[in-house]
Structure 1
Amino acid sequence: MGRGPETAQLSKYFYEGNDISDLPVNLSVVWNGNFIIDNPQNIQAHLYKCSALRESCGLCLKADPRFECGWCVSEKRCSLRQHCPSHESSWMHTSSGNSRCADPKIIKVG
């Protein structure tokens, strides 16, 4: 018996709001349109927004490195490199040597 070609559909997913920086979601693989392949290890995918809950340079650079978030100096926001205009000179990430935030603000002394 022959089997059909194996294909994967590329989809974009997003979630509303900015009160969650990363959101674990359940992951399943559907075969032949309606057969769900079991996920015994409960593998999850993570949806994330660099800008959510990371309003400052310091908070942005403390994000989990696997998300590849960096501070876009020209836009003054946390973003992925490709979403920062003129990203070569304006984007800071902890893996680069230019990861020192400018204009720090003290908002609480404890």
Structure 2
Amino acid sequence: MCTYESSSCQTGETVVIGENNPVGSGNKGKRFCPQLVGTSESFFIPVNIPSSFSLVARNIPTDQTKIRSFDCILRINEAEAGVQSTFFNESYILCESKEYMYADDLLQNNVSVSVQWNGQHYIDDPTDTYVTLYKCSVNGGSCSRCLSPEATPSFLNCGWCGTECNVIESDVCQSNRFVNQNETNLCSAPAITDVRLSHNYFF
């Protein structure tokens, strides 16, 4: 795809011209530009777990002689975390597996995604694509809270492992029994381990 003045484009390159450009015909207007396509599918990525995700797109340039790389870039807490695409075609981009983390004490954190090719050209994103990072541990104060669908939505697949709320792929859940939200009866009953008298007495 030619991304400069049309006079510099070479034979065989895809040329997209402006809506109001009186010269030329064919691929005219932004609908022919490389762009991400919004879908009803949402991506939920647990923190500290290597995860990949895919993006639906259109008009993606695929000429291997001109495309060196595609990079998927997540903007997390004003910082950018980028990974290369492991596969792409005209309508699909697969972003390679990577661990992500964020500092905020939030169960879910929506972060924007952009795609860049050859380290300089951004693919249009008319629908503002994002993925959702999440931390099960935010609701890890107790087994019952971790497994409560009101506190921790079931689609996040969090569970109780020993003394932590996490996903089954985590190290702690690999070394401890994973208790899911259908097994709340397996949560240990609370135990009173200490009693302290208050300085305020009421009669």
Fold conserved (TM > 0.5)? yes
The yes-or-no answer on 1:12 pairing with 2:12 is: no
Cα separation, partners in 2 of 1:37 and 1:11, compared to 1, 3 Å: same
Counterpart residue identity of residue 100, structure 2: Y
The yes-or-no answer on 1:3 pairing with 2:63 is: yes
Unmatched runs of 5 consecutive residues or more in structure 2: 1-11, 13-61, 70-83, 86-95, 192-203
Q: Alignment partner for residue 51 of structure 1, among 112, 137, 152?
A: 137
For residues 165 and 128 of structure 2, the distance between their equivalents in structure 1, rounded to whole angstroms, comes to 30
Partner of 1:27: 113
CA offset digits 1:37-88 (Å, max 9, x no partner): 122222211111110133111221121223221011x2x110111221444x
Bigger mean CA deviation after superposition, 60-69 or 6-15: 6-15
Q: Alignment partner for residue 99 of structure 1, among 176, 184, 192?
A: 184
Displacement of 1:104 after TM fit?
Answer: 4.7
For residues 82 and 36 of structure 1, the distance between their equivalents in structure 2, rounded to whole angstroms, comes to 33
CA RMSD of aligned residues (A): 2.5
Partner of 2:45: none
Paired positions, count: 98
Larger radius of gyration: 2
Partner of 1:79: 166
Q: Is the 8 A contact 1:50 1:78 kept in 2?
A: yes
Which structure has the highest strand share of the two? 2
Q: Which runs of at least 4 in structure 1 moved beyond 3 Å after TM superposition?
A: none
